[in-house]
Amino acid sequence: VRQLDHMVICELMIPGYKYIGHGHSKTVKSAKKKATSDFLLFLVHQKELKLETSSILEKIKKNAKDSKINPLPEINESKNVDKNLVQSNWTIIEAKNRLKTYIKSHEKNCYTTNCTVNGKYYIVKMSIFIEELKKTITVYKTDVSQKSATEKCELSLVRKLYALGLIKHCLTSQKKNEKSIFNFFDVCVNNDLVNDVYCLLKDLNIRLMINKNTVIQKGETFLLNHVSTNVKAPRITSRLNEFSSNVLLWIPPTANWNAWLGIQINNSKSLTQLSNKIERYTEKKKKSLILQKRIKDRADLPIFNKKHDILDIIKNNSVVIVHGGTGCGKTTQVCQFILDKYIHTKKGAYCNIICTQPRKVSAISIAQRVAYERAENLGKSVGYAVRFDNINPRKFGAILFCTTEILIRKLKNGLIGVSHVIVDEIHERRADSEFLLIILKNMVQKYPDLRVILMSANANLKVFSKYFNNCPIIDVKGRCYPVKEYFLEDIVQMLNFTPKIKNLIKKNKIDEKQVNCNLMVSKAYPINIRNKVALIDEDSHHLEIVESLLIYIENKLKMKGAILIFLPGWAWISELNEHLEKTINIAKKFSILPLHSTLSRAEQHKVFKSAPNGKRKVI
């Protein structure tokens, strides 16, 4: 007998029986009666006693007394008792699940439940009509908690159903320490498979259950002889599961899954029906004159000459590297090539593409550009996802541009519902990009139907190709505008610039190991220019040079276009921004716009808008 909160638990054990009779009540006497009654029902179910026998109760009491069964020690600390206490070899959770299963499988049986309140106690009544017996079973339970009363009622009802032989015995009493018996069988396997298995076991540092010397060769097959072993199979299984868990799950697009939100959805249509709907929508949209003009503009890009080659090589390879020069159109066009082909072949819903970009600004701006080229608003066939901001595309047949960090976060639960992954700007070799490539390599080895496209304008692509098992590389020529370079000495000569005192090199600051590149000016420049450049401190921010250069471009060159100023970090950006806004001549003629990843999307989006009339945009 033991105490559990306000309840007394009694367990009855009789030598020769593994079954334990359970009873619970508010008093010890009542709990013992219920435990005895529970054991009685067990004996009736085992057909060892008849239910009509009048002296059964006395016989059980006498047997228990003669056997001198000691009651279980009382437990005063209710915290040490498991809430899922096993009663009649059923736990509360198992009884609840078994009752649900029984009700579902016997729809003709009428099941009702009712709860009433009497003072501080809840009274739960459960009734079930048994079609086979043409009778109704009813149980009542009370408790200060409605949940506890319901659970007790379910447990009591399951015990009665079990006593009547309507449900099977619960096997919770099976000993956990019982050793499992493993049988060995002779099997025929291929030679290559044998070598792969032993190499895998060696890599995982697993002790071999069967020595390789015991494998007998017969022709082109091998027989594994019966070998006894002391190695536990569960240990090997867990190690293999640990190894296989390193590869993330991939599932192609399915009709009941939203790949962008990572949730299951209710969809009555199949992917084929959805594909036909997308194809009809696209064909109808092609009649638009705006879209026809934008498709014509896209056709002028150099990458359009390689469209069919790119699609063929992607179709036949799990991993493809696209090496395209700057301005060839690879970032905006490759994803559209793939999606348009799927839509044209009435398989649009089977295509969901994720394109990664290293920065938020590029992910948003490229998504807007692709949506513009498709004559759509964001949220239809094109969307984006960056930190704290996203516009998801339609559920099927779409392109999502996102940062590398967002994709890695999505991969936490696997890559489900995505057919293609495009990783752009792989030459930057950032830590998150390298980590993503490691994940994708493992995934394409396990799932060859997954398509991965890597893109770069300038990189040692042979390193990436070798890493991905010598995957193919396709080259696309770029289209760059003519660029003319001016160095610091050219600017000093052009502006006739003289550095101010605060920007002069201080001798006490010069490090002997540091090389001053401003002293390495070619002798082709006049001596006075070389002397001026040599006086400029390399560590200064050169704010006056930038200011003078902007005025020179506006007044002397008189060329159209915006000006980009690249600076190393937000501190320099904010300092130059404040300096230019305080300068009257600059503020009147220029629209100064800072751009940094820490700015809001609205602030970043300003750089894509046209400057006010009469002003030049400076970013």
Where do the structural domains in the chain lie, given as residue ranges? 2-60, 92-164, 250-476, 494-508+516-617
- The per-residue pLDDT for 69 is 40
Q: Enumerate long-range contacts of 188-195, CB under 8 Å, 24 or more apart.
A: 188/221, 188/222, 188/223, 189/221, 189/222, 189/224, 190/220, 190/221, 190/222, 191/217, 191/220, 191/222, 194/222
> Could you read off the pLDDT of 307-318 as tens digits, one per residue?
999 999 999 999
Distance in angstroms (rounded) separating the CA atoms of residues 91 and 83:
9
- The per-residue pLDDT for 157 is 84
Distance in angstroms (rounded) separating the CA atoms of residues 13 and 109:
34
- 136: its two tokens: 């109704």
pLDDT mean by block of 10 residues, the chain; 619 residues: 73 79 81 84 75 51 45 35 44 77 73 80 84 81 83 83 72 44 62 77 70 52 37 36 62 90 86 93 91 91 92 94 89 94 94 93 92 93 91 94 93 91 89 90 92 87 89 87 88 85 52 70 86 80 85 86 91 90 85 88 84 90
92-164, CATH topology level: Double Stranded RNA Binding Domain (3.30.160)
Distance in angstroms (rounded) separating the CA atoms of residues 151 and 118:
18
Residue 244's Cβ-count burial label (10 Å; 0-12, 13-18, 19+) is exposed
Distance in angstroms (rounded) separating the CA atoms of residues 386 and 405:
9
Segment holding 189, helix H or strand E = strand 188-190
- The per-residue pLDDT for 291 is 92
Residue 79 contacts residue 148 (beta carbons within 8 Å): no
Residue 554 contacts residue 589 (beta carbons within 8 Å): yes
- The per-residue pLDDT for 169 is 57
10 Å Cβ neighbour count for 205? 7
Distance in angstroms (rounded) separating the CA atoms of residues 474 and 309:
8
Place of tokens 């009666």: 33
Q: Which of 586, 618, 352, 324 is nearest to 479 (CA)?
A: 324
2-60 and 92-164 agree in CATH topology = yes
SS3 call for 52: coil
Domain 250-476 homologous superfamily, CATH = P-loop containing nucleotide triphosphate hydrolases (3.40.50.300)
- Which residues lie across from 464 on neighbouring strands? none
Residue 533 contacts residue 488 (beta carbons within 8 Å): yes
Contacts of residue 371, defined as CB under 8 A and 6 or more positions apart, other chains included, come to 377, 378, 380, 381, 382
Give the phi and the psi of residue 544 in degrees, each rounded to 5: -70, -35
Give the phi and the psi of residue 270 in degrees, each rounded to 5: -85, 170
Q: Is 614 left (phi over 0), alpha (psi -120 to 50) or beta?
A: left
Could you tell me where the beta strands, DSSP code E, fall in 248-318?
250-251, 257-258, 263-264
10 Å Cβ neighbour count for 163? 17
- The per-residue pLDDT for 422 is 96
SS3 call for 485: coil
DSSP symbol at 20: -
Q: Give the HSE-up count for residue 197: Cα atoms under 13 Å, Cβ half-sphere.
A: 15
* Helices assigned H by DSSP within 300-430: 307-316, 330-344, 360-373, 404-410
- 141: its two tokens: 């339970």
Distance in angstroms (rounded) separating the CA atoms of residues 591 and 38:
88
SS3 call for 106: coil
- The per-residue pLDDT for 334 is 95
* Cα distances (angstroms) measured from residue 463 to each of 314, 363, 421, 439, 446: 19, 26, 20, 17, 22
Contacts of residue 24, defined as CB under 8 A and 6 or more positions apart, other chains included, come to 4, 7, 8, 9, 10, 31, 34, 87, 152
pTM of the complete model beyond 0.85:
no
Contacts of residue 350, defined as CB under 8 A and 6 or more positions apart, other chains included, come to 252, 253, 271, 275, 342, 397, 419
Could you tell me where the beta strands, DSSP code E, fall in 378-495?
382-386, 389-391, 398-403, 415-416, 420-423, 451-456, 473-476
Q: Which CATH number applies to 2-60?
A: 3.30.160.20
- The per-residue pLDDT for 514 is 67
Q: Which of 506, 507, 503 is nearest to 488 (CA)?
A: 503
